[in-house]
A and B are shown apart, each in its own frame.
Chain A
Amino acid sequence: MSAAYPSNLLDDALGTAGAADSAAASCPRRRFVLVEDCVETSGAFVLHHFVKRALPSSETREAVIFLALAQNFSHYDRVLRKLGCNLSIHRDKKKLFFLELLKLQFPDGVGWNDNEAGFIDLYGGIQRTVESCRSPERRVATVTILIDDISLLEIAAGGSADHVLDFLHYCVTLTSEMDCSLIVLTHEDVYSHTEGPTLLSHLEYLADTIIRAEPLRTGLSADVHGQLTIVNKTLTTRDHGGSQGKAQNFHFRVKENSVDYFYPGTLA
């Protein structure tokens, strides 16, 4: 199997394979990456991959703002440590800004103004952090904003998808103005029962790259944990070659210290 570390099929598909060799430019140049998963297959490992790519070493000039709504710090710390990335050190060195929002709940969750105020606070915090990273003395090259996961933000807002969407629009604006990248995890199957435009359809429209984690159609397997489908929207608009609108699809197996990616049937 040729998918050797550090470059693998996922990096290839994202177009970051070459950049991964040089530590300085390892951050994906996608503006907005949407990761979708479902109940059977968690897409959290893709986020871990991005955190690891964004923080390759302690001397890195990248920074990560992590909005953690799903798990606590010790979980991510333990997972990333096994991947070879020490979050505690990065946090101490002010490369990682970890916002533990496990208990985030906007007051009452029903009042329009409460929600708005809560999101304004949250966005204000992110903006200040990005600005401090961009300041001349810090000289941070790129800032990656991760949200794990956006559907929990919707719950914290008491179901007000409009507020979440507004918040996201601001974050997307941040990516173009301040040269950040935004990576958002969401659950695809939550919205599959709803008719009409949902938060997911808005997110899919806004995203430059969509990574979809699904279980195998044939069922559960210990050797293959699922499949990834990657849709690159930026590539299709720029390339005028043959790969227009082509979704890339491959299988994966999650391990403690890495993830194996392979094309169907080529498991070594």
Chain B
Amino acid sequence: MATAAAGSSSFRRTNPSVTSLGGSPATAAAAGVKRGPNAALYVSSGIPTLDAILGGGFLLGSLVMIVEDAEAPHHLLLLRNFMAQGLIHTQPLLFASSTVDPRAFMGTLPSPLSSPSSSASSSSAQLAKGIGLRIAWQYRKYFGPQKDAPQGNNGDKKEFSCEFDLRKPLDKHLLIGEHIESARVQDYPNLGSLLDHCCAFLSRLQKNDSGIQCAGRIVIQSLCAPQCGFSKLDWDMISFIRSLKAALRASNGVAVLSFPASVLPPSFSVRWKHLADTLLSVSAIQDEDKNLAQLLSGYQDMVGFLKVHKVAQLNTQVPTIPEARTFSLKLQRRRSLVLEPLNQAPVSNGSDGSSDRSSGSCGSSKPSSVDF
């Protein structure tokens, strides 16, 4: 994979530290794992455009947090895609949820688009190309490989990241296996036993010198939701997250944790956010927001907004600055999830009616629900 990508972009340079520190290059072939700069290993989030925004995907050994919107279940879309992507690569998965039946939730995971529809892939490729071009000027060489992922590997079932058809459930045989564990958060007597379960899961994925055998995914949905019964245990919960993060650092796993920030005391929700390596938040679109419909093009397809607050920085002190902070969550052809930068709709009386990237300047005419 690495060698294939090297030829396609002239700005990509093989990073010597990657091969010398992380093991032999042959180990990069582990299913669904991609190498990046600073000895980083990425797994896909299940949304190719989100991978592109984050600079390659979710970092192995990092903790990803998604701040839920109390009014809409958009975080479930992200979690579903993330889990389905892992199952396609037959990566171990631990799913802890506060829902009544986690197994039933896993039955709703989307299946990959069998034949990539030309319009869907071309638009994502267009976005990726735009990013790639811009990044090349900044010598962000690591954007090279993920630019190729949606373009070059289409049709291959084991590609790094797939597009998913949200209307079609994942094949049943992918949901069966010893590598999949699911549990209800309420079934654990306390957070310590949940942590023990996570640590036991991660200990099977220990980092070793021979490279990565397998990358594991932990998904914890709505950890601090009232039904979990941890509401009076603020310090225990935060210490659970900290311990989970410490365990992740020493293993080949990614944990995605979604939480409703509104039920936490404000100072604790900030503490949670500090503990996250990658922090995303989702928010719903108000129905029939006429102002917004006029301002943003493609408003009809949008299901919500995704904000990138923080991108993981492991082994580096340089922060990853995404193109924009707010992206729109769109359902392409009503079935596959894509993220797009907000495009301003043409202004009827303005001189520059072109679709400016809203990341450049935050217009004062924007409604307060979309601040950059």
Contact = CB atoms under 8 A, between A and B. Distances in A.
A220 B239 contact: no
Contact of B266 (A44, A109, A155, A193): A193
Interface in A48-91: 48, 71-72, 74-75, 78-79, 82
A263 interface: no
Interface stretch (A20-28, A138-146, A184-192, A201-209): A184-192
Interface string B242-263: 1100110110000000000000
A117 interface: no
A146 to B, nearest CB: 15
B243 A103 contact: yes
5 contacts: A39-B279, A42-B319, A72-B249, A78-B316, A220-B372
Interface in A102-160: 102-103, 105, 109, 151-152, 155-156, 158-159
B167 interface: no
A79 B315 contact: yes
Nearest to A188: B270
A222 B322 CA distance: 8
B314 to A, nearest CB: 6
B158 interface: no
A172 interface: no
Interface string B315-343: 11111011001000000000000000000
Interface residues of A, number: 40
Interface in A154-193: 155-156, 158-159, 187, 189-193
Given A155-B238, A155-B242, A159-B234, A190 B317 contact: no
A102 B246 contact: yes
Interface in B1-30: 17, 21
A254 B318 contact: yes
Contacts of A48: 317
Given A159-B235, A190-B270, A45 B321 contact: no
A249 B85 CA distance: 46
A95 interface: no
Contacts of A191: 267
B75 interface: no
Nearest to B324: A220
